[in-house]
Structure 1
Amino acid sequence: MPTRHVSHPPDVLDAVIIGAGVVGAACAYYAGRGGLAVAVVDRGPVAGGTTGAGEGNLLVSDKGAGPELDLALLSTRLWRELTDVLPPEAEYEPKGGLVVATDETARTALRAFAAGQRAAGVEAHEVPADRLRDLEPHLAPGLAGGFHYPQDAQVQPARAAAHLLRASRAALRLGEEVTAVLTDARGAVRGVRTPRGDLHAPVVVNATGTWAGQVAALAGTRLPVRPRRGFVLVTEPLPPGLVRHKVYAADYVADVASDSAALQSSAVVESTPAGPVLIGATRERVGFDRTLSTEALRRLATAATALFPALAGVRALRTYCGFRPYLPDHLPAIGPDPRVPGLYHACGHEGAGIGLAPATGLLVAAALRGDRPPVDLRPFDPGRFDAQEGADR
């Protein structure tokens, strides 16, 4: 569905949002709902970056108790509310997740992990080995058990971003790269510059995902966002019911939290309403290198068929890669930058940006309006890395 493209923004803007992915779209949606006039600028199309390469995971199951889980629980509620805004083609599916353990050691670790999550408000139900196939009839035999997470869901991220932007009524400037962040003599933000002219506003929101460090540099500050590459395999359309939930092996949780730059892989398998099954997930820090990795694809196929033997005879129609916006402490940067008045960040969500987008947008909109945020913003302070660097020196 085409998204409304407004060539000329209102005469008076409250904010310019850089980035037309799902996080930028959520920021625009909640800002607009709060009565703010915003423009969204992107050098490419809607969802042309990380959002367009995402699987659409809306997860609480992979997050331990702490600030990110608090954000995920808020987003879970907000995604459900957004079903009144999003049309069916956004493919919101409250399918739930199933995390499986291959042995007793993994099962014990999952049990401890789930206990902490439950204390934070997550629904997590242990599934003994002999009941796994009640949830997923095509799972491999011999698994040690798992946990069912009914709050996990899935969405088609590019369509969700497009519809949020349309509902936001923001002025949309696509195909315009921001070449400068405008500031006044005191260093406060006053808008952005693109090849088509300047957009003036007292606030600029950096929602550029993996490229957020580059935008921060344009504003004269630093944010250590780095790309973390991941591949996804897409199968031919398959009959409904082959995979019923988002299913992944317990080692996926460890991979998400890892700081390793090397190639990591774990089985993540989920169906889509259109029929194809999506198979992930790999992680590696190789810069913005898009070179096809046959080793990564081999690992994905091997891990997926180990979980679902029926996939062994299925054709993979295509593969794609994307770049997760990685920050060193695995928490996003959300809210005002203490070093540059008027600069806000909404980035660095790594592989959880689609799931965390509504909460991020709501928090940014609250900060813009001076309202009290629904969760504590301090863990997501964009200036926290300066303090860490100072402690290291």
Structure 2
Amino acid sequence: MNFDVVIVGAGIVGAACAYHAVRAGLSVCVVDRGPLAGGTTGAGEGNLLVSDKEPGPELDLALLSNELWRAMAGVPVGGATFGARAELDPKGGLVVAASDTTLTALAGLAAHQAAAGVTAEPVTADGLRDHEPNIAAGLAGGFRYPQDMQVQPMLATALLLRLVRDAGATTLFGEPVTEFLRAGDRVTGVRTPRHTLAAGAVVNCAGTWAGAVAELAGAPVPVAPRRGFILVTEPLPRVVRHKVYFADYVADVASDDAGLQASPVVEGTASGTVLIGATRERVGFDRTWSPEAIRRLAAAAVRLFPFLAGVVALRAYRGFRPYCPDHLPIIGPDPRAPGLWHACGHEGAGIGLSAATGRLIAQSLRGEPADLPLHPFRPERFAEVPA
């Protein structure tokens, strides 16, 4: 089989890359070693955040994604709109500070974010309960971020791939890539146990396994797993209106600490459950159940919303975020292996950043000017040695 592009990975980033590639007129095949959204995407919360990012390339990527997600909401699919079917909810975020010192730091971050295009609205201590009636007493205040949104990640991935297939693309599941095809140094496709897929370009969207795929192509990238647990409560009335989290969460996201961290992001869902995420720790691909991680996550959530102490947790699940050492994703062509592109290493922000990532990859594949500079995300940056 011959295609313009083979995309390795059927999570949200691969689906977004496929969607934008077919919209650009390219013939596409999406191939995955497992099922649709079977990796990081299927274990995600669905955060579409701008509030948790410092000004810089990642925030620029998040703002572009935010625009694209909002535009995507009205796209017809399956007799409804994408937004309705994917539970796309522009609920906004509420970031709170437990102390005056933390609130001062949060205000400084919000000012810098506002200069970059983020809307951040100050909320006084007394005003917090106007936005979240059930929030803990005694907090110093916070900021409301109306651009923050939520999506159901598996539904969003499935709908994007439905649109891709409707446009004539091919999807292959349960087929691991075992070999990269080459003509000299150039990548010309991939081989699976059942198919040989020739292509003008191959895009590595393999999430937490992107490092192994890149190694197979002879162009290594340092993507590693970072484990996280998420709690899901019993269905409740809409008792949490926003995405709500302590300001410390921003520091945990940017941390290089390999140890266990638990900063709660609490939010209601369309089904009535409350999602409580998430922990972070680098333990390789160890899927061992961690009572300590669950205990710390639950305790942190109760500090934010005390009523949760009397709520039943129905289940918890875990997954692995694709961690990069500099906390930036890897997006763009790899000069070490012409014909190979990467779209990986988004850590816990991949669902939110997927829309812009797909757009930039499609523009790069077509040789068109990109909406954002790709230089900060270049795959070869980790191998570069300063002069």
TM range (shorter): over 0.9
How does 1:101-250 map onto structure 2 within 5 Å? Answer: 101-169=97-165, 170-184=169-183, 186-240=184-238, 242-250=239-247
* 1:58-82 C-alpha deviation (Å, 9 max, x unpaired): 0000001000000000000000011
Does residue 1:91 correspond to 2:87, yes or no?
Answer: yes
Distance 1:14 1:208 in 2: 19
The residue aligned with 1:274 is: 271
* 1:287-335 C-alpha deviation (Å, 9 max, x unpaired): 0001111111011110111111111100101000111100000000001
Q: Aligned residues: percent identity?
A: 67
2:347 to 350, 353, 358: 350
* 1:351-374 C-alpha deviation (Å, 9 max, x unpaired): 000000000000000000000000
Deviation (angstroms), 1:84: 1.8
Q: Secondary structure at the match of 2:143?
A: strand
The residue aligned with 2:305 is: 308
Deviation (angstroms), 1:87: 5.2
1:19 to 2, 9, 18: 9
Deviation (angstroms), 1:89: 2.5
Deviation (angstroms), 1:231: 0.4
Distance 2:339 2:320 in 1: 27
The residue aligned with 2:259 is: 262
The residue aligned with 1:7 is: none
Q: Which amino acid aligns with 2:266?
A: V
Distance 2:230 2:66 in 1: 24
Deviation (angstroms), 1:221: 1.5
Q: Secondary structure at the match of 2:240?
A: coil
How does 1:62-101 map onto structure 2 within 5 Å? Answer: 62-85=52-75, 86=82, 88-101=84-97
* 1:75-124 C-alpha deviation (Å, 9 max, x unpaired): 00000011122152310000000000000111011000001100000000
Q: Which amino acid aligns with 1:270?
A: E
Does structure 1 conserve the Cα–Cα contact (< 8 Å) formed by 2:94 and 2:145?
A: yes
Deviation (angstroms), 1:142: 0.1
Does structure 1 conserve the Cα–Cα contact (< 8 Å) formed by 2:2 and 2:197?
A: no
The residue aligned with 1:46 is: 36
Deviation (angstroms), 1:227: 0.3
Let me know the Cα RMSD of the aligned residues: 0.9
How many residues get paired?
A: 378
Q: Which amino acid aligns with 2:177?
A: V
The residue aligned with 1:4 is: none
Distance 2:316 2:85 in 1: 22
5+ long unaligned stretches in structure 2: 76-81
Distance 1:176 1:197 in 2: 8
Which runs of at least 4 in structure 1 moved beyond 6 Å after TM superposition?
Answer: none
Distance 1:267 1:145 in 2: 17
TM-score for the superposition, normalised by structure 1: 0.95
The residue aligned with 1:55 is: 45
Q: Secondary structure at the match of 1:122?
A: coil
Q: Secondary structure at the match of 2:328?
A: coil
5+ long unaligned stretches in structure 1: 1-10
The residue aligned with 1:8 is: none
Deviation (angstroms), 1:391: 3.8
The residue aligned with 2:79 is: none
Q: Which amino acid aligns with 1:187?
A: D
TM-score for the superposition, normalised by structure 2: 0.97
Distance 1:263 1:363 in 2: 33
Q: Secondary structure at the match of 2:52?
A: coil
Distance 2:357 2:164 in 1: 15
The residue aligned with 1:385 is: 382
Q: Which amino acid aligns with 1:73?
A: L
